[in-house]
């Protein structure tokens, strides 16, 4: 019996691992991936990502608005040239935008908790920057319920207008923070030396130049969101929200909002626009080969002797002039011009917002009576800004001197059409989504429809919700209503 007790004691010892348990079991701290971050550490990737998405996601929309066409000899994007889109069309853009928004959400909430007001404001503005793209493409989208993680695996959808209105408020809050950021000394400046990529870094938070630029950018984004609503009878609302703002409050000549974290020729670190067309430095990919200039765009630029054509497109070495393909022509035009080499800079800047776009928006806002100012001056500055951006400043005067109804303010009967057409010239490969939005909102320019035999004969006015979303968030997608991509307009498109 005593032996039994002895054995049982041994057993008990063997089973009572209390001593080794700790070493054996408390080993679950992640040695591979960071398990915490800070607003300072997350803001840079979030801003870079925002620019990356805005710059590279909408190449296929560029076919619809007349910038691109299919090349000869390379497989063609069927959905694009028939307009017969499915739920996979731009589905990754949906995922990417929400992924990016989660980063800004983290920055916003952490910055608030850690009393880093400037970071909080930056996150608010950038959220508006991302969210408006979602609304512009899908109409009703998750907003109030979105980005809640564990609290909401299937967020409900909000009306596009509700989202837009709240974004305006968000931007206003951000602006008031930028104008009075409080106590910047709460920021550990040594950590922040190079962390914010847009308009410099946070060492400059005390510098009024930094904050002023963020205020201008915020106002410009707000202007964009408001001008977008020009067709739905909300002029009073728009005016109210733009009350007191003038040209000097927006991004103006020389104020291009660009970022460059230090793009290199290494494959992973290529400039996003370059990386969309090249699989590696100087090694072109399928998108490069299958995307050529459209006949419409080439003719439009050539008709106005626009020197910017050499920025947006590169003439085929075997061709005597710029050639473009007819959009939808299955064989494509041989020797059509490719995406312009000058726009494809492996280490160049990525775009958050160009001064040209801001000035076109201001011109339109003045023309529509939303703000006061000189519409013609703003319009001409906008073109000047575009020429500057594309490296053609020297040719600006000659271009403007041409007696064309597509150039001369005075010759144009429809000023809005003039502004939008010129904006279309300038936004080529720079803000394709803006061109698509303008096309839906104003109908300008009248880019020709695809000539493909299976073409649906009209350009979709919105997209299907991604299949993934339909599958994983079924009830809310159904609640958002039926979608006919040719007739279910987003709220600002009537």
Partner 1 sequence: MRKFLSLFMVLMLTGLLAFSQNKTVSGTVKDDTGNPIPFATVTETGSKNATTADANGNFVITQKGNGTLTFTATGFNPAVVTPSANLASPTLSRNTSELSAVVITALGIKKSARSTGYSTATIPQQELTAAKATNIANGLSGKVSGLQINTVNNGVSADTRIVLRGERSILGNNQALIVLDNIPVSADFINSLNPEDIEDVTVLKGANAAALYGSDASNGVIMITRKKGIKAKPSVTFIHTTTLEKVAYFPKLNKRFGAGSTEPDSLSAYTGFYGRIPYENQMYGPEYNGGVVGLGYEKQLTRPDGTVFDSTNQIIYDYKNPVQNFFNTGITNQDGVTYQAGNANGSYFFSGQVNNTTGTIPKDKATRYTVSVGGSTVYNKFSSNFSVGYTKFVTDIAGADYSQGRPVYWNVLNTPGEVDIKKFKDLNAPFANENDWYNAYYPNPYWQIENSRVKTNRDDILGSLELGFKATSWLNFTYRLGVTASNYQQKNTKGGVTFSEYEISDPLGTGGTASSNPNGVKPRLYDRLNEKFIVQSDFLINMQRKFLNNDLDVRLILGSSINKSKERDLRAGEGVKGGTGELEIPGLYNQSNLVNPATVDENLYEVGKIGAFGSLQFGYKNFLFLEVTGRNDWVSVLAPENRSFFYPGINGSFVFTDAISAFKSMDWLTFGKLTASLTKVGNVSNVAPYALGNTFSQILGFPYATTSFSVGDRLANANIKPEFIKSREVGLQLGLLRNRINFAVSYYDQDVSNQTVPIQISSASGYTTTLKNVGNVSNSGFEFDLKLNPLVNLGPVQWNIGGNLALYHSKVDEIDPLSESVFIGGYTSGAGIYTIKGGPMRVVQIKDWKRDSLGRVIVDPRTGRPSATTGVVNVGQTLPKVILGLNTSFEYKNLTLSMLAEYRGGYVVYNNVGSATAFTGVSEVTTLTGRQRFVYPNSVVLQDGKYVPNTNVAIDNASNGSGFWASTFRTAGTPFITSGDYWKIRELSISYAFNVKNNKIVKKASVGLVARNLFTFLPKDNVYADPEYSTLGTGNGQGLSDENLSPPTRVFGATLTVGF
Minimum gap (Å) between residue 289 Cβ and partner 1: 6
**Three-class DSSP category at 285:** coil
Q: Can you say whether residue 95 is alpha, beta or left, with left for phi > 0 and alpha for psi between -120 and 50 degrees? A: alpha
Q: Within a 10 A sphere around the Cβ of 306, how many other Cβ atoms?
A: 24
Minimum gap (Å) between residue 1 Cβ and partner 1: 8
Minimum gap (Å) between residue 451 Cβ and partner 1: 12
Q: Which residue, 206 or 264, has its beta carbon nearer to partner 1?
A: 264
Minimum gap (Å) between residue 482 Cβ and partner 1: 16
Minimum gap (Å) between residue 199 Cβ and partner 1: 15
Q: Which residue, 89 or 424, has its beta carbon nearer to partner 1?
A: 89
From CA 267, how far away is CA 276, in angstroms rounded?
Answer: 11
Q: Which residue, 33 or 243, has its beta carbon nearer to partner 1?
A: 33
Q: Which residues of 108-120 are buried (b: 16+ CB within 10 A; e: fewer)?
A: bebbeebebbbbb
Minimum gap (Å) between residue 424 Cβ and partner 1: 29
Q: Which residue, 188 or 393, has its beta carbon nearer to partner 1?
A: 188
From CA 494, how far away is CA 489, in angstroms rounded?
Answer: 7
Pick from 321, 327, 291, 320: nearest CA to 309? 321
258 membership: H or E segment, kind and range? strand 257-259
Q: Can you say whether residue 328 is alpha, beta or left, with left for phi > 0 and alpha for psi between -120 and 50 degrees? A: left
Q: Which residue, 102 or 406, has its beta carbon nearer to partner 1?
A: 102
Q: Which residue, 4 or 180, has its beta carbon nearer to partner 1?
A: 4
Minimum gap (Å) between residue 146 Cβ and partner 1: 5
Q: Which residue, 110 or 354, has its beta carbon nearer to partner 1?
A: 110
Residue 240 CB-density burial (10 A; 0-12 exposed, 13-18 middle, 19+ buried): exposed
Q: Within a 10 A sphere around the Cβ of 359, how many other Cβ atoms?
A: 30
Minimum gap (Å) between residue 148 Cβ and partner 1: 6
Q: Scan for tokens 């040594």, then name that residue.
A: 190
From CA 456, how far away is CA 461, in angstroms rounded?
Answer: 13
9 membership: H or E segment, kind and range? helix 2-15
DSSP 323: -
Q: Which residues of 407-439 are buried (b: 16+ CB within 10 A; e: fewer)?
A: bebeebeebbbbbbbbbbbbbbbbbbbbbbbbb
Q: Which residue, 7 or 391, has its beta carbon nearer to partner 1?
A: 7
Pick from 181, 176, 131: nearest CA to 158? 131
Minimum gap (Å) between residue 493 Cβ and partner 1: 22
Q: Which residue, 290 or 343, has its beta carbon nearer to partner 1?
A: 290
From CA 329, how far away is CA 406, in angstroms rounded?
Answer: 27
**Three-class DSSP category at 427:** coil
Q: Which residue, 109 or 488, has its beta carbon nearer to partner 1?
A: 109
Minimum gap (Å) between residue 263 Cβ and partner 1: 7
From CA 309, how far away is CA 313, in angstroms rounded?
Answer: 6
């Amino acid at each position: 019996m005593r032996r039994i007790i002895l054995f049982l004691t041994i057993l008990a010892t063997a089973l009572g691992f209390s001593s080794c348990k700790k070493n054996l079991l408390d080993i679950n701290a992640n040695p591979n991936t960071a398990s915490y971050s800070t607003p300072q550490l997350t803001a840079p990737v979030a801003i870079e990502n925002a620019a990356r998405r805005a710059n590279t996601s909408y190449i296929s929309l560029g076919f619809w608005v007349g910038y691109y066409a299919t090349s000869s000899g390379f497989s063609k994007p069927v959905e694009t040239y028939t307009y017969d889109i499915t739920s996979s069309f731009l589905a990754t853009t949906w995922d990417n935008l929400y992924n990016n928004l989660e980063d800004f959400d983290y920055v916003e909430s952490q910055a608030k908790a850690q009393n880093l007001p400037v970071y909080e404001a930056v996150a608010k503005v950038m959220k508006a920057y991302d969210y408006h793209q979602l609304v512009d493409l899908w109409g009703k989208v998750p907003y109030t319920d979105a980005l809640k993680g564990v609290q909401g695996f299937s967020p409900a959808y909000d009306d596009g207008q509700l989202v837009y209105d709240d974004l305006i408020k968000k931007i206003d809050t951000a602006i008031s923070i930028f104008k009075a950021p409080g106590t910047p000394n709460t920021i550990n400046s040594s950590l922040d030396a190079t962390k914010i990529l847009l308009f410099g870094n946070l060492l400059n938070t005390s510098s009024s130049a930094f904050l002023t630029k963020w205020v201008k950018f915020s106002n410009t984004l707000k202007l964009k969101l408001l001008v977008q609503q020009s067709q739905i009878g909300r002029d009073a609302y728009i005016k109210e929200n733009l009350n007191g703002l003038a040209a000097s409050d927006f991004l103006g000549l020389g104020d291009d909002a660009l970022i460059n974290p230090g793009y290199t020729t290494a494959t992973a670190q290529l400039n996003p626009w370059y990386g969309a067309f090249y699989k590696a430095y100087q090694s072109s990919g399928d998108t490069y080969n299958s995307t050529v200039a459209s006949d419409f765009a080439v003719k439009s630029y050539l008709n106005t002797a626009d020197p910017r054509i050499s920025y947006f497109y590169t003439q085929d070495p075997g061709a005597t002039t710029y050639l473009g393909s007819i959009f939808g022509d299955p064989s494509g035009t041989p020797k059509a011009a490719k995406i312009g080499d000058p726009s494809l800079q492996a280490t160049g800047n990525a775009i958050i917002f160009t001064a040209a776009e801001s000035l076109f928006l201001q011109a339109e806002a003045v023309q529509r009576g939303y703000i006061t100012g000189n519409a013609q001056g703003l319009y001409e500055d906008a073109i000047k800004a575009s020429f500057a951006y594309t490296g053609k400043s020297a040719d600006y005067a000659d271009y403007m001197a041409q007696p064309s109804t597509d150039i001369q303010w005075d010759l144009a009967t429809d000023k809005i059409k003039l502004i939008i057409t010129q904006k279309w010239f300038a936004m080529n490969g720079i803000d394709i989504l803006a061109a698509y939005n303008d096309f839906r909102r104003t109908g300008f320019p009248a880019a020709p429809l695809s000539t493909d035999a299976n073409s649906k004969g009209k350009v979709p006015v919105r997209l299907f919700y991604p299949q993934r979303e339909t599958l994983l968030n079924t009830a809310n997608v159904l609640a958002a209503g039926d979608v006919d991509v040719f007739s279910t307009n987003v709220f600002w498109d009537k």
